[in-house]
Amino acid sequence: MSLLLDHPEALHRLRKEIDNGVGHGRLLNDSDLARLPFLRCVVNETLRLYPPVPLLLPHCSSEDCIVVGYKIPKDTILLVNAWAMHRDPKVWDKPERFKPERFEAIEVEREGFKFVPFGTGRRACPGASMGLRTVSLALGALVQCFEWEKVVESDMNMNYNSKVTMQKATPLEAMCIRRQQAVCPLTTLNYHK
């Protein structure tokens, strides 16, 4: 949400896609995700910039090998820096910029080791698919049901306070207003103290 609030054109495009693909009569669901490619682009771009963890699980080389000109002896513990890979200017055009449309032309599954927010191969996160669906549904519902505005005019503080889990140092503060045309269960919840 922080990135979308800093990039209102992306938020507007996502809202339009959800309005056209799902409508206002019901809350979006799992079967709608295939018809919302820009939502997937937004989620992927967010994971590229802010992977769940900056360093993937350690690997151990099973034999001597050479990686980018470096000799790696057998049984060396290797750490993969997903944060650095996702921000490499040799791989990504303007890597520090939030640009969800960069994923429109990319089939993530065929990109190999370019985009690895959940790792890859046998050591990949087993919950990656569920996590992507859950985040996509939550973000989609928030955009479908509410109009969003920043509380302050300046850009969101995207600094993080943990080197391990990428937790934001400053929580998101935003104002949301129920969209009049949206019929969403999220807007009719009763909260009891």
Instruction: Tell whether 125 is in a known binding site.
Output: yes
Q: What DSSP assignment string belongs to 30-61? A: GGGGGG-HHHHHHHHHHHHHS-SSSBPPPEE-
| Bridging pattern class, strands 65-67 and 146-150 | unpaired
Do the beta carbons of residue 121 and residue 55 sit within 8 Å?
Answer: no
Do the beta carbons of residue 38 and residue 16 sit within 8 Å?
Answer: no
Residues in the chain, total: 193
**Burial class of residue 129 in the structure, from the number of CB atoms within 10 Å of its CB (0-12 exposed, 13-18 middle, 19+ buried):** exposed
Annotated binding residues, written as ranges, equal 125
- Pick out the residues of the known binding site for heme: 125
